[in-house]
Structure 1
């Protein structure tokens, strides 16, 4: 800060690089705030990396977990793990320092990783929803038609389509950072879609997956309630002999409701604010404050942190496999054949 001739304090504008007007302006945060932010976001990154790594090791190592459902969980965990390793650390530094210090080439790679991995993560959520539909609604078809090779084929299709979608976006210059005539300042690396691709991305990566998930899980919930009523009727007949009342259907309905609420609510809470902001931002000449977009982006990434908790921590096998991993018992001979399921399940 300097004093001018009138004695007033003038704030000096700082830039990301010492190159005058060609460099982006840099926001300076107090040291205490910067340290707090680094500690907080590092914790989120570690949660994402470690949580998804445990899922990857568990499903890959234990033969009992090699099922179509768990293979989709494995693909989801790989995508979320890569987000935690290759996307979130760079986003953390850019968000706190308000500058991109890693060059144009790494910026392009970073942007492609964002698009591919978030698309894969969302598509795997959809596949998991469809998988749950066949398990609950068509169990006989599921056991005969949904095979391991078919599952791998859908997983490969998910990754391939995500790569193709990202290529098309860059080829048609959907990111305004790639549009001719737009010269971003030095020290910036942003992913902002133009108005056309904002709508396309909204439909392809949000509206269609979200509507599919809501529709499928609603159907699953309805069928689960129907099954619960049947179980209730059978349980009453069995318990009438000794006068005991069964609460199995109530537990089943609560469990179905809880699962549906967690899956849909977390997905919507993480993604709806971000997509609303991107649509608004594209039609108001990209005037949404960067701090707002940065925060909403982190909320989206936080969905990758929550996925291991939602899709794995509620499973008893995950808790047992986690204990085996932490105690290094997975290195013992024939540990891959360990029974992870309690006898009463």
Structure 2
């Protein structure tokens, strides 16, 4: 994500007595403290919350499933956002200066784009997984196997990493915008400029997976409603064990789909303002005020911290796993085989 060049009311420099230093936007000590607390808490939650998700899925054998491996990989992407992106963006946002060097500025931008798009692709594949699980729950285990899940995880990581590296390290992102790049080139700045062509490509990379998720989850909730009505109308009849098992499986998959649907909605709410702002900004001459940009930017970052909260709210197995991890029970030899499900 690029940071807009801001015009402060009082002239301060990122590096005093250094020629060509960027101008610094002054904040009062109280405002800076509030911003550091608000943004810092998001970074801490993204790191530790997603770390708990990763440990839960990898440690407890009962959670070793293709769908949960996708969730763990998604948590890994959000974890890396919290480790490699948010702390440095925190300093940049509050101090309005970049103190980590020009080379790391480019690397930071690559991490930002790669890990955020990786989260999006993971969510898209999770929606496909949930669609198969809800529409055909009995055949689902043979369709979405561990190898298929591994392939989805590989694509979700490889494409964003290759794309971000190719865009930022070849310099194609600012072709035709040399004048603006020169104007923003100062010591203590990290302003990555993206031209209109690549902004459109970025928008399509966001829009197409998002459209797939919206379509699939719409179908999922339609099927779930039909299944629930069918089960309700036949509840008074004597069911065979096979029918009863199918009903239980369908109910479990619908519940998981609804929870992950909330995750998708949270992603859209977090990312739509930033995506729309960057698209409009590129075609309107980068007129967005710095504080508006930062709000949109951190709204998107906060998504990496929200997923563990959603899991804790809707997944009883995750709450139980957290208790076992924080209490130290996971250090016991038999902890990996503990049951995390009430059923």
Is the aligned partner of 1:155 residue 2:156? no
Offset at 1:232?
Answer: 0.4
CA deviation string 1:142-186 (max 9, x = no partner): 211221122112211211111121133225534339965533221
Matching residue within 43, 55, 61 for 1:45? 43
Partner residue of 2:108? Answer: 110
Partner residue of 1:127? Answer: 125
Name the CA distance, whole Å, in 1 between partners of 2:139 and 2:258: 26
Could you say what the CA RMSD is over the residues aligned between the two structures, in angstroms? 2.4
Offset at 1:296?
Answer: 0.6
Q: 1:227-306 to 2 correspondence within 5 Å?
A: 227-237=227-237, 259=259, 262-306=262-306
TM-score of the two chains, using structure 1 as the length reference: 0.86
Name the CA distance, whole Å, in 1 between partners of 2:170 and 2:119: 23
TM-score of the two chains, using structure 2 as the length reference: 0.87
Helix, strand or coil at the partner of 1:22: coil
Could you tell me which runs of 5 or more consecutive residues in structure 1 were left unpaired when the two chains were aligned.
1-10, 240-247
Name the CA distance, whole Å, in 1 between partners of 2:155 and 2:123: 14
Partner residue of 1:167? Answer: 165
- Larger of the two Rg values belongs to structure: 1
Partner residue of 2:200? Answer: 199
Name the CA distance, whole Å, in 1 between partners of 2:22 and 2:299: 25
CA deviation string 1:113-142 (max 9, x = no partner): 001100111100111111100110122332
Deviates more, 1:102-111 or 1:17-26: 17-26
* C-alpha contact 1:72 1:128 (8 A) present in aligned 2: yes
Name the CA distance, whole Å, in 2 between partners of 1:37 and 1:212: 36
Deviates more, 1:111-120 or 1:139-148: 139-148
Offset at 1:21?
Answer: 5.7
Q: 1:176-187 to 2 correspondence within 5 Å?
A: 176=174, 180=178, 182-183=181-182, 184-187=185-188
Offset at 1:263?
Answer: 3.3
CA deviation string 1:71-106 (max 9, x = no partner): 000000000001001100001100000000110111
Offset at 1:312?
Answer: 5.0
* C-alpha contact 1:177 1:192 (8 A) present in aligned 2: no
Name the CA distance, whole Å, in 1 between partners of 2:257 and 2:178: 50
* C-alpha contact 1:224 1:256 (8 A) present in aligned 2: no
Partner residue of 1:242? Answer: none
Name the CA distance, whole Å, in 1 between partners of 2:170 and 2:135: 41
* C-alpha contact 2:130 2:257 (8 A) present in aligned 1: no
Distance 1:256 1:74, change over 3 A: closer
Q: 1:60-139 to 2 correspondence within 5 Å?
A: 60-139=58-137
Deviates more, 1:165-174 or 1:127-136: 165-174
Offset at 1:61?
Answer: 0.5
